[in-house]
Chains A and B, each alone.
Chain A
Amino acid sequence: MECDPIVEVKDLRVYFYTYAGVVKAIDGVSFKICRGETYCLVGETGCGKSVTSRAITRLIYPPGRIVSGEIYYYPEPGKRVNIMQLSESELRRLRGEEISYIFQDPSAALDPLYVLGYQVGETMLAHKRVKSVKEGMRRAVEVLRTVLMPDPEKRASSYPHELSGGMKQRGVIGISLSNNPKLLIADEPTTALDVTIQAQLMDLLLDLKRERGLTLLLITHNLGLVAEYCDRVAVMYAGNIVEEAPVEELFEKPLHPYTQALIRAVPNPTRRIEKLEHIPGTVPNLVKPPPGCRFHPRCPKAFDRCRVEKPPLKEYSDHHKAACWLYEE
């Protein structure tokens, strides 16, 4: 499995300068997303998965700042764009046309004052796919049809409050696909929805991805979605990637003690479980993160080295990386 990267992130650091101090939200994150795959960032609240995904197109605003790191985008094999050096107008073109986003809350993503069709059309107009709002509105119906919106003609002239949560998210998916991006970043796209609707929308995303040869970056806290829809997974903890592996491998042979504990802490509905294992303690404060490995205060296997030295993310078997001193000879 050779990786033809579409996005490459190297040693990314994003800090937030707040009154309480400098929050080191992302502290040295590196990864590659291969063309055509579904890559997944998984972790708990505050681990930095959303910030990482937004940093890819530099969607970080004060008090946040990308302190250091390299971010590359490959529109086609061999062609490299350095995102850190793009101008504001080049970034505007990149966002939406090459890389687009779907966020968690569809009500916040849509403008309550405009009908859905206008919002789809406006996005296409902004990227010069259509010549007028009128043409955009007409094309919007087709877009809504591709995301399987029930009764697309009627829904194109509906306001967001007239739509259910599932329909709104379909609309948002339509907007983000309207300019034919190559990479789709979905940040908890189904967290606000019921499970039967979640299943419908995840199936839709995967179908669209297959039809259009998209690459998908899925951000989620739900290990079920990871297992069901992803090819490769990176597990994040307190601003670092602690493990990266193909999905089967990750669930079968998790290396990092955090990944191991996380998998055991999720109640699996297909099994009867007598006692769920939990992780003691809570996620650390990132203004003053623990020295060494950031997981060591909660880690049952921590030893002296973990308390002083930060373990690097290293490959221990085929395509399976972990940041843990346990595996260092």
Chain B
Amino acid sequence: MSGALESVSLDRMFRGERLLLEAHNLKKYFPVRGILFTKGYVKAVDNVTLGIPRGKTLGLVGESGSGKTTLGRVILRLEEPTSGRIVFDGQDVTRLKGRALKEFRRRAQIIFQDPYGSLNPRKTVYSLIAEPMKVHGVRVEDTREYIIKLLYQVGLNETHLYRYPHEFSGGQRQRIAIARVLALRPEFIVLDEPTSALDVSVQAQILNLLKDLQRTYNLTYLFISHDLGVVRYMSDYIAVMYLGKIVEMASSDELFEKPLHPYTKTLLSSIPIPDPKIAKSKARIRIPGEPPSPYNPPSGCRFRTRCPIAVDKCLSEPPLEEVERGHWVACWRPGEL
């Protein structure tokens, strides 16, 4: 029954906007094996419901181990969900197989964090881009022309066509990875920390490129990052994850200007601001300790062990509820910190 309830709330979350992607009560548990039996589960993603309107970006933030990468992979069916539903462009893709799954994978792509690991060092730029096209049967009149056009779009040119990955810098490699994805004419791209390995001056180039491409092709992004400045710049909506759960979700400006969950507040006050005037006057909220293990998370609200305003009620789990218009929080005392 709760599934039906949740889909109603998705409609309310993104009033009137057409959702390209929906995830309903998504769970991904990884078994931890003992000598004979499964000892328990790492609940990497635990009951996550979210949606992304077509042409928009949902930013996903959280610390390491919060489950943001797993969530991105489950949405693309790179990992099979333990339970829950994924809906893409109105079609349930959770159990797709064979040709239909392949077509879904063409339309929903991913760009990884490490541009050194994601490109085969033995292949030229040309074959790196042409091969996935062949696999997915993307037909064009002239493959070479098509690839050259793509290279120009990502800021490279035909002189790069027959070079190998090791001849490129990190930023250029990420451009190749972007061209390779674009060649398949996808509609949805999971960007998993696409600029974390890059320097700031190059990071800005790649972020702007991704924004331009989004406008040109009406792309929908799930942008995963731990860098809150980057997430704010890229996203229309933001979801904050903590130990496998979404604790807060709102429009980008709303989340940064009026964070309601104590974890979001702490996170925002922990990021160093590149402006000494703000940096030295801002409120400093510090939480003790480190995130608990997702293998054995606290009962009830998972943040309660570090939360400065936790009360007895937090022993039971708070649902993700709309506290203000378009602002969703999973907390018994939203906005009180």
- Tell me the dominant secondary structure on chain B's binding face: helix
Per the bound structure, the CA–CA distance linking A205 and B268 in Å amounts to: 20
On whether the beta carbons of B200 and A44 are closer than 8 Å, the reply is yes
Q: Which residues of B lie under 8 Å from residue A283 when comparing CB positions? A: 199, 201
Instruction: Specify which of A199, A248, A269 is in contact with B229 (CB 8 Å cutoff).
Output: A269
CB distance from B193 to the nearest CB of A (A): 13
* Also in contact, A278 and B272, with CB within 8 A (given A195-B63, A269-B256): no
Across the interface, name the chain B residue whose C-beta is closest to A280: B205
Per the bound structure, the CA–CA distance linking A87 and B172 in Å amounts to: 45
What is the interface size of chain B, counting residues whose CB is below 8 A from a CB of the partner? 46
On whether the beta carbons of B275 and A268 are closer than 8 Å, the reply is yes
Across the interface, name the chain A residue whose C-beta is closest to B209: A278
On whether the beta carbons of A196 and B266 are closer than 8 Å, the reply is yes
Interface flag for B208 (CB, 8 Å): yes
Central interface residue in B64, B171, B205, B276, by most chain A CB within 10 Å: B276
On whether the beta carbons of A44 and B272 are closer than 8 Å, the reply is no
CB under 8 Å from chain A, chain B span 259-285: 266-280, 284
On whether the beta carbons of A270 and B275 are closer than 8 Å, the reply is yes
On whether the beta carbons of B201 and A279 are closer than 8 Å, the reply is yes
On whether the beta carbons of B226 and A224 are closer than 8 Å, the reply is no
On whether the beta carbons of B270 and A195 are closer than 8 Å, the reply is yes
On whether the beta carbons of B274 and A227 are closer than 8 Å, the reply is yes
Interface flag for A300 (CB, 8 Å): no
Instruction: Specify which of A44, A268, A280 is in contact with B273 (CB 8 Å cutoff).
Output: A268
* Also in contact, A196 and B63, with CB within 8 A (given A228-B279, A263-B274, A269-B228): yes
Interface flag for A272 (CB, 8 Å): yes
On whether the beta carbons of B207 and A224 are closer than 8 Å, the reply is no
On whether the beta carbons of A270 and B287 are closer than 8 Å, the reply is no
Q: Which residues of B lie under 8 Å from residue A278 when comparing CB positions? A: 201-202, 204-205, 208
Instruction: Specify which of B172, B201, B226, B286 is in contact with A261 (CB 8 Å cutoff).
Output: B201
A-B contact count (CB 8 A): 130
CB under 8 Å from chain A, chain B span 277-321: 277-280, 284, 286-287, 289-291
Instruction: Specify which of A167, A251, A262, A279 is in contact with B275 (CB 8 Å cutoff).
Output: A251
Interface flag for B9 (CB, 8 Å): no
Interface flag for B169 (CB, 8 Å): yes
Q: Which residues of A lie under 8 Å from residue B266 when comparing CB positions? A: 196
CB distance from B229 to the nearest CB of A (A): 4
Across the interface, name the chain B residue whose C-beta is closest to A225: B272
Interface flag for B203 (CB, 8 Å): yes
On whether the beta carbons of A196 and B270 are closer than 8 Å, the reply is yes
Per the bound structure, the CA–CA distance linking A248 and B276 in Å amounts to: 6
On whether the beta carbons of A227 and B273 are closer than 8 Å, the reply is yes
Q: Which residues of B lie under 8 Å from residue A202 when comparing CB positions? A: 272
On whether the beta carbons of A248 and B277 are closer than 8 Å, the reply is yes
Central interface residue in A45, A202, A270, A279, by most chain B CB within 10 Å: A270
Per the bound structure, the CA–CA distance linking A237 and B271 in Å amounts to: 25
Interface flag for B87 (CB, 8 Å): no
Per the bound structure, the CA–CA distance linking A202 and B279 in Å amounts to: 13
CB distance from A166 to the nearest CB of B (A): 6
Interface flag for B230 (CB, 8 Å): yes
On whether the beta carbons of B201 and A44 are closer than 8 Å, the reply is yes
Interface flag for B162 (CB, 8 Å): no
Interface flag for B103 (CB, 8 Å): no
Known: A194-B226, A267-B232, A268-B275. 5 other contacts (CB 8 A): A196-B287, A203-B284, A267-B207, A268-B273, A276-B207
- Can you report 29 residue pairs joining A to B where beta carbons are below 8 Å apart? A150-B289, A195-B63, A196-B270, A198-B270, A199-B272, A202-B272, A203-B284, A222-B272, A223-B200, A224-B273, A227-B272, A227-B275, A228-B272, A228-B276, A228-B279, A248-B277, A251-B276, A262-B201, A265-B201, A265-B204, A266-B204, A267-B207, A269-B232, A270-B256, A270-B278, A272-B252, A273-B233, A276-B208, A280-B205
Question: What 3 A-B pairs have minimum CB-CB distances, sorted nearest first?
Answer: A224-B272, A278-B204, A267-B229
